[in-house]
Amino acid sequence: MNRWAMQLLLGAALLFAIAYDRGFAQAQDEDPPFQWLNGSGETAGVKYSTHKLRSLAIQNESGPSKEIEQEEVKVDAQTTRITRRVFNSSPNGGRQLTETVVEEIKKLPGDRVRAVRTVSRKDLNGSFSPVQQEVQEVKPAGADTYQINRTLLLPGTNRSLVEQERIQQTEKRKGETAVEIDRTRYVLGQSGSWTAEERRVSQSTLGKDQTSTEEQVYRYDVNSRFSLAQQLRITESKDASGQTQWQSETYAPNIDGKFGLGSRVTVVQKPMKNGRQETTEILERPSPAAPNAGLKPVRRIVENRQIVGANETETQLDVFEPDLNGRWRALDDWQRIEVK
């Protein structure tokens, strides 16, 4: 199994969330914390949060241990700079800086926000150069409506950063209990023109302890037409014990063109003894050997998060898959320590 540990030394009280949002029902929050737009998977609000939980993130890394130092600096009254430095173990037993991530988040007049995130890595010559940059702008677009534009830049032929992807998301709050999100992702074609590759439209109904979302996904079909490719039903609820469950069901066209249930992801988060918090995710899909036999569990992820010291939080992530007899077997695990 791959085993590695990460230490986060936070220069301020900013938490570095790895898997999902920590708040619940924040859609009515007039000034929520800044969030980066996620351009993959289900829609998620930047100005109007629509869910607390999302699918757990699996860290696809192995090798030597890594240490991450993170600090937050208030540049001025409107600008915050967050710097994250990644260190790998060096051959002589010390550590060497291998990557830096710098985020600058600036509040602008008119309830606008502009943020730039730049990732730099050490090359073969030992020099640091940018390998990725994201630019995100948030601005009002009408009554209770915001438009979020995100641009991804990657190295081009001469190693300078050039635009490779654009995402435009519009979030509209309807009354106190509904949010509509319309997100389109554009990619740069061979001719140099921008082409819409995917559009997602979601309608969320928000309650104090329950949220439901209907989402439609549009992509180009075999006839080069933008058509409905998937439908999602997402629910989230919280019970009196504090346990929260998030479930996402994806429906796709069958051979006859009718939409059928193709996959299901269920995430359950519950408080445990001694301040520990456990989150379990189950992924279900049809078996290739029996596609008409319904959904079968194909992966389980368990995350345990607990405070282990005055300023330390430990997170353990374990990944399982079923064997031929249907019993869960360990596949990978990760451990991380956050230090404030």
Q: Does residue 182 sit within a domain?
A: no
Q: Does residue 177 sit within a domain?
A: no
* Count of other CB atoms within 10 angstroms of residue 57: 13
**In which domain, by residue range, is 309 found?**
5-171+240-339
Query: What confidence score (pLDDT) does residue 39 get?
Result: 84
Burial class (CB in 10 A: 0-12, 13-18, 19+), 37: buried
Q: Does residue 226 sit within a domain?
A: no
pLDDT in tens, the chain (340 residues): 343 444 444 433 333 333 334 334 444 444 568 999 988 889 999 999 888 888 876 654 444 456 778 888 999 999 999 998 888 877 787 888 989 999 999 999 999 999 999 999 988 888 899 999 999 999 999 999 999 999 999 998 888 999 999 999 999 999 989 999 999 999 988 888 899 999 999 999 998 889 999 999 999 887 778 899 999 999 999 998 889 999 999 999 988 889 999 999 999 999 988 888 999 999 999 988 887 888 999 999 999 998 887 777 788 889 999 998 889 999 888 777 665 5
Residue in 189, 190, 172 with CA at minimum distance from that of residue 181 = 172
Q: Does residue 92 sit within a domain?
A: yes
Bridge partner residues of 182 (DSSP):
170, 201
Q: Does residue 57 sit within a domain?
A: yes
Task: Please state the pTM of the whole predicted model.
Answer: 0.83
In this structure, what token pair is assigned to residue 176? Answer: 């106190």
Q: Does residue 230 sit within a domain?
A: no
Query: What confidence score (pLDDT) does residue 73 get?
Result: 94
